[in-house]
Structure 1
Amino acid sequence: MNIKQLDFFLFIFRKYPLLIVLNISCLVVGGLIDAVSIISLIPAVDLFVNPDLQNVSASTRYIIEAMKYAGISPSLGSVLAIFVLLVLVRSIFYIFSRYFIVKTRYRLQGNVLIGTFEDFFNARWAFFARNKQGILLNTFTREITNVGEAYEVISNYIAYILQCCIFILVPFYISWKVAMVSLGCAIVFMLPFVFFGKVGYRLGQINTKMANKMISVVQESVSSAKIILGFGRQAQSQSSLAKAFDALSRATIKSQTLTNAIPQMYYPFGILVLVITMYVGRTFANTLSEIVAVLYSFMRILPIVGNIMAQRTYVNHFFPSYEQVTGLRRNAVELRQTSGTRPFPGLNSAVRLEKVSFAYSDDEAVLRDVDMDIRKGKMIAVVGRSGSGKSTLIDIIMGFNQPLQGTISIDGIPLREFDILSYRNRLGYVPQESTLFNMSIRDNLLWAKEDATESDIVEACDIANASEFIRDLPEGYETMVGDRGVRLSGGQIQRIALARAVLRKPDILILDEATSSLDTQSERLIQHAIENIAKSTTVIIVAHRLSTIINADHIYVLEEGRVIEEGTHAELISKNGSFSRMHLIDTDAGRERKAEGNNEDDARSP
């Protein structure tokens, strides 16, 4: 066992000391009983060869004296009965040992699973942005299972070592000279097999890498199914999956073949050890019964030694999985979401950004010296071309990212001082591409606020202009929306997402380009809903289509991460600046969309 494996086992021991102690205790007791059962063969052989108990070994005499002292008549039948009884008791202890190993494995696996999930989802958004979803999914679906299996393999490894140590006591008890020669030969024959541990580790690394790639292909293909079908590129995705699986299967076949081959490769050397044992035993003039007991001990040890080497290779194969899990968890902890301790009581006055700047890693700044004043009860709009920093600004307001310079404060208190969960619990958020969960409309709404009443749900859907289409559905609020809401239209998904956000009765409602991908009618419905919400809630809206922010109380125009203009819609139009030009382009695009909609209506008319 190398240092890494020892650290892994000690890590588990610190978490589950009682289970580990019980496991080792059962192994030790079972092994000792096993050793005694082997010694009990010595009088059985002597009684079989010499029923009159003449010229028997010293071990047989000791055992017969012990049987007489216990009131047991020494005979071949009674000795064999003791042997069978010892084997039965030994099996019971080994069964309990296996139970504790499996129980510890699944406790460990559950602990790692929940702990990994907790670490990932307590990290900042940057953690998810920097890691491929396929790797994260593979960590949960495969690598954590391998960590549990690695513990089981290490437990077997330790169990086999303990059994070897106990079984070797029997030959030493009978003849230390024979035992030393035989053990020395066995160790010499084992040395070449140490090399296979490194091979198993390299194959494990390849296995983990290929599993990550395969799950990434599956995840990307499933999430992009509509695009793949629309472009007719199924064959390309299937080919990528096949290549990833072939690479994974090749590494797995090599690894499992190596693990299964090692005991078979050692077997001839083990037989040679038995031959040497017989010869040496005869040379040192041991009795037949003693030679039988020594041979039986080494016959028991022989497959165990092969398994020790196989398990060592196997655990090296699983170790890259443990390294990936611990590496990702360490990365998540390094990127842990910072949070204050002050409960967020709600917005009373305003959210202010002062000289806020932000950049991703060492990249060029995305935001530069941004000043904003978001007053309670107002609708604030943020507009700008793609890449101007709008979504990054929203991420900072939501606490996903921390400003590199400047401050963001709420009612004069820095955001970093508030408990981030209590703050986000008072926010409503609708992104550009909202996601619904694969459950009913009602459950999707209740996900945001579990204690919402029926009247709360209906009110939120009324505000979001979602009630009408929900009532038209055959199952109404009990309609299953499918994975990510696939059974609904884009406009319907956005309205349910808006209702979900409104249901929380948030202090601040954040809409990140929530209408940019919708048709004109859906956009109009969402726009009316936003105007209704803005009467009682502070709204921050990032807009792609400027028609949705005509009634905004204040508009900020971003360009290359800076606020270049601000004011009301009318004020910005009158300046004939960047916003005015954007408005002109948006108005022309709006006319084209309206004309296309009218043409479609005319085409449907008889």
Structure 2
Amino acid sequence: MNYFKQILRFAKPYKSYGILNIICNIFYALFSALSFIALIPMLKVLFNKDEGIVYPKPEWKGIVSSKEYLTDSLNLYISDTIASEGKLQVLTYMIIVIISIFMLKNLFNYLAMYFITFLRNGVLRDIRDELYEKTISLPLSFFSEKRKGDTMARISTDVLEIQHSFLSILELIVREPLTIIFTLIFMFYLSTKLTLFVFIFIPISGFLISLIGKTLKKHSDKVQQEQGFFLSIVEETLGGLKVIKGFNAEGIFGKKFKQSTKRFFSYSNTLLNRQNLASPTSEFLGICVISVLLWYGGRLVFIDGSLESEMFLAYIGLAYNILTPAKAISKANYGVKKGNAAAERVLEILNTTSPLQDHPDAKEKKEFTSDISIENISFKYEDEYVLNDFSLQVPKGSSVALVGQSGSGKSTIANLVTRFYDVNKGSIKIDGIDIKDLTKHSLRDLMGLVTQDSILFNESIKNNLLVGDPTASDEEIIKALKIANAWEFVKDLPTGIETNIGDSGNKISGGQKQRLSIARAVLKNPPIMILDEATSALDTESERLVQSALENMMKNRTSIVIAHRLSTIQNSDLIVVMQKGKIVEQGTHDELIAKDGIYQKLVNMQSLE
């Protein structure tokens, strides 16, 4: 119920629909019970053998004798109306009353479902929206060990499961209990003895039904986890299709997927078979109760004489009327157990507190005026530090390059300056202000990022660039493309900047993708540019074009360049050579060549003079 309460907060904006649903359900439950009571007068007319009997006008003797008063009043009305208008006319009146009651019952049932639809779908939308916002607000570290498919499963199938299970309770929480309550009131009214007798058997039935649902949450959790697992395999397969085909590894991934779907098949069968057992079990137990009721009720009609036959038939209808809501409540109980597993997985993300969230008094920074100061920082992703007591000054307008072997901590600097991660020790300051004291939005507004992997989206070239500046005009987009040396191929495309570049930009070459990434950063026009091995994956011709684009872009900007190919950073104001998370050399290209140290070895290894 704790999970249910947390999910219920999403229903607050739609409480007006909830109130209207409750009002309609109250009327539905009332007319549902009345529909059986309305049969009594009709049965009296059909089976009336006491024609000619004159009924005296009943006297009201208080609430205790109300049943006798209403029965005598009904008998008097029927006998008088039959005498004056005939049996067929009275039967017609009774049928009109019954039709009216059933019409009102179904009208209020429809209205109740109509209003709850807005609540259910509204909650579904709001949970998905908040889950997506939370997902993109959490740090990269949160997802480093999680499968993408598992996160996708939580946003899609788990949220849908919450709607089908938890939110279906909102439909049942008023309607079904009220239907049972109104029905029981009329059952007590018709025969207290019979109702008390039936009540001995109802708790036994409820106990037997509850035994079935105890393990549902555990099985449901396994089903949802497995669903996340095979979605991850699909996502990895589509992302790495070239490698899978190139290494003839279809069998390996096919085997993994089949093993997962086999486990899903097994867990789903167990879960659904237990769930499917609920309805027939509750119906069978209900019929057992009805059978006992028929036996004891028959005694009251034939032997005791304390219950009229038409009342007993209406009573049987009322007793059966309890079975449908009772079955719905038992199914809802299983739904809660399934919903618990889904809600737990969704709330795990929603309740996660981001270690990178802005402080309440975080400042907005609109411009960059002085320098970036990295002061004695240390950082580790897991157990071992990848940066140790690292310090660096990057004055405004200068270009600083970080070089070194793989694993030396170069890309980590980019991750820390953009605050994708927080330092463990030390501080990073912009214009003397610790970046932890700035809002992440304003910090990243000051920065443009070009990574080794050109991350583009399945959109047009224009929409990909508008990520950099959503307000840019077509002229500004074309200008940015020209600076990035990308206009030369974009202008020849069938629909120019409106051309869709496919999933991850796979309709264009690697060099073209990288130039579009640079154009996107150019369009943003930030004062600080971070280039993380932006040319390492390119061929010589593409590198020449991209390097030219980078030089165009870095004019009059502060740049931190992480480079693998040393030919791309020879004109930097400062080159920092890193090794195992520390600075081992720094200076200009010429100064470092003159030192004949580690940088010279790196240059020689790349066959550069």
Tell me if both proteins adopt one fold, taking TM over 0.5 as the criterion: yes
**1:66 to partner: Cα distance:** 8.6
Q: Does 1:43 align with 2:58?
A: no
Amino acid at match of 1:550: Q
Q: 1:75: how far off?
A: 2.2
Amino acid at match of 1:388: S
User: Who is 1:206 aligned against?
Assistant: 222
Relative to structure 1, the CA distance from residue 476 to residue 179 in structure 2 (aligned partners, 3 Å threshold; closer, same or farther) is same
Give the Cα–Cα distance (whole angstroms) in 2 for the partners of residues 545 and 521 of structure 1: 14
CA spacing shift, 1:271–1:104, aligned 2, 3 Å? same
2: CA distance, partners of 1:223 / 1:326: 28
How far is 1:16 from its partner? 3.2
Contact 1:47 1:76 in 2 (8 A): yes
Distance in 1 of aligned mates of 2:7 and 2:573: 62
* Aligned equivalent of 2:199: 183
Report deviation, 1:471.
2.3
- Alpha-carbon distance change, 336 to 329 in structure 1, aligned in 2, over 3 angstroms: farther
* Residue 450 of structure 1: how far off its partner (Å): 1.9
Q: 1:472 is paired with a residue of what secondary structure?
A: coil
In the alignment, which residue of structure 2 is the partner of 1:595?
A: none
When residues 49 and 542 of structure 1 are mapped into structure 2, their CA distance, relative to the original with a 3 A threshold, is same
SS at match of 1:352: strand
Residue 269 in structure 1 maps to residue 285 in structure 2: yes
Larger deviation: 507-516 or 456-465? 456-465
Closer, same or farther in 2 for the Cα pair 1:160/1:8, shift >3 Å?
Answer: farther
What letter matches 2:521 in structure 1? A
Counterpart CA distance in 2 for 1:538 and 1:555 is: 14
Q: Which deviates further from its counterpart, 105-114 or 374-383?
A: 374-383
Distance 2:30 2:266 in 1: 42
Q: Which residue matches 2:364?
A: 343
Aligned match of 1:140: 155
In structure 2, the CA distance between the partners of 1:125 and 1:6, relative to structure 1 (3 Å rule), is closer
Structure 2 equivalent of residue 594 of structure 1: none
Partner of 2:27: 29
1:541 and 1:297, CA in 2 relative to 1: closer, same or farther beyond 3 A? same
Change (3 A) 1:5 1:167: farther
Amino acid at match of 1:151: F
Q: Which runs of 5+ in 1 are unaligned?
A: 592-606
Distance 1:163 1:334, change over 3 A: farther
| Cα distance between partner residues in 2 of 1:156 and 1:183 | 26
Answer whether contact 1:38 1:170 (CA < 8 A) is retained. no
Identity value in percent: 29
Task: Specify the alignment match of 1:461 in structure 2.
Answer: 481
Q: Distance in 2 between matches of 1:323 and 1:67?
A: 60
Q: 1:438 to 1:548 in 2, by over 3 A?
A: same
| Correspondences of 1:200-599 after superposition (within 5 Å) | 200-284=216-300, 285=305, 286-331=307-352, 333-338=353-358, 341-361=362-382, 363-587=383-607
1:86 aligns with 2:109: no
CA distance in 1, matches of 2:457, 2:325: 51
Match of 2:466, SS state, is: helix
* Inter-partner Cα distance in structure 1 for 2:114 and 2:71: 36
Query: Aligned partners of 1:574 and 1:220: how far apart in 2?
Result: 48
Q: In structure 2, how many angstroms separate the alpha carbons of the residues matched to 1:235 and 1:63? A: 79
Q: Within 2, Cα distance between the matches of 1:134 and 1:580? A: 45
Listed one character per residue, the Cα deviations across residues 382-417 of structure 1 (whole Å, up to 9, x for unaligned) are 111111111111111001112221111111122222
Judged with a 3 Å threshold, the aligned counterparts in structure 2 of structure 1 residues 572 and 68 are, in CA distance, closer, same or farther, namely farther
Q: Deviations over 1:163-194 (max 9, x none)?
A: 22222222111112211111221221221121
Write the letter of the residue equivalent to 2:38.
Answer: S
CA distance, structure 2, for counterparts of residue 65 and residue 203 of structure 1: 61
Query: 1:517-558 CA deviation, whole Å, 9 max, x = no partner?
Result: 111111121112222222221111100111111111101122
Q: 1:545 to 1:83 in 2, by over 3 A?
A: same
1:122 aligns with 2:137: yes
Q: Distance in 1 between matches of 2:413 and 2:316?
A: 77
CA 1:498–1:44: 2 relative to 1, 3 Å: same
Kindly tell me: are residues 319 and 266 of structure 1, through their superposed partners in 2, closer, same or farther at Cα, counting changes over 3 Å? same
Q: How far did residue 267 of structure 1 move?
A: 2.4
1:126 is displaced (CA, Å) by 1.9
Structure 1 position 5, deviation (Å):
6.2
Conserved? CA contact 1:119–1:329, under 8 Å? yes
SS in 2 for 1:447: coil
- TM-superposition CA deviations, 1:400-457 (whole Å, max 9, x none): 1122211111111222222221221221111110111111112211222122223322
Give the CA RMSD over aligned residues: 2.5
CA contact (8 A) 1:384 1:557 kept: yes
Which shows bigger deviation, 419-428 or 351-360? 419-428
Q: CA deviation at 1:48?
A: 1.4
Pick which of 335-344 and 34-43 moved more: 335-344
Q: Which amino acid aligns with 1:87?
A: F
SS in 2 for 1:449: coil
> SS of 1:439's equivalent?
coil
Q: Is the 8 A contact 1:557 1:563 kept in 2?
A: yes
Do the aligned residues in 2 keep the contact of 1:200 with 1:316 (CA within 8 Å)? yes
Rounded Cα–Cα distance in structure 2 between residues aligned with 1:155 and 1:94: 14
1:454-477 per-position Cα deviation (integer Å, ceiling 9, x unaligned): 332222112211121222333322
> Is the 2:460–2:501 Cα contact (8 Å) retained in structure 1?
yes
- The one-letter amino acid paired with 2:46 is F
Contact 2:374 2:390 in 1 (8 A): yes
Q: Describe the superposition over 1:209-259 as per-residue Cα deviations: whole angstroms up to 9, x where unpaired.
A: 111111111111111112112212223222322222232233223323332
CA contact (8 A) 2:429 2:435 kept: yes
Does residue 76 (structure 1) correspond to residue 87 (structure 2)? The answer is no
Shift of 1:371: 0.8
Q: Distance in 2 between matches of 1:359 and 1:202?
A: 36
Counterpart of 2:467, as a letter, is W
Distance 1:6 1:165, change over 3 A: farther
Amino acid at match of 2:143: F
Other structure's SS at 1:75 match? helix
Moved more, 291-300 or 42-51: 42-51
Structure 2 runs not aligned, ≥5 long = 56-66
Q: Say if 1:195 and 1:542 are closer, same or farther in 2 by CA, change over 3 A.
A: same
Q: Once the 2 structures are TM-superposed, how far is the Cα of residue 6 of structure 1 from its aligned partner? A: 5.3
Query: Per the alignment, do residues 579 and 268 of structure 1 end up closer, same or farther by CA in structure 2, a change over 3 Å counting?
Result: same
* Secondary structure at the counterpart of residue 558 of structure 1: strand
CA distance in structure 1 between the aligned counterparts of 2:254 and 2:366, rounded to whole angstroms: 52
**Hey, what's the Cα distance between the residues in 2 that align with 1:395 and 1:12?**
35
Amino acid in the other structure paired with 1:194: S
How many residues are treated as equivalent by the alignment? 584
Question: Hey, what's the Cα distance between the residues in 2 that align with 1:288 and 1:490?
Answer: 87
Change (3 A) 1:21 1:227: same
Equivalent-residue separation in structure 1 for 2:75 and 2:237 (angstroms): 74
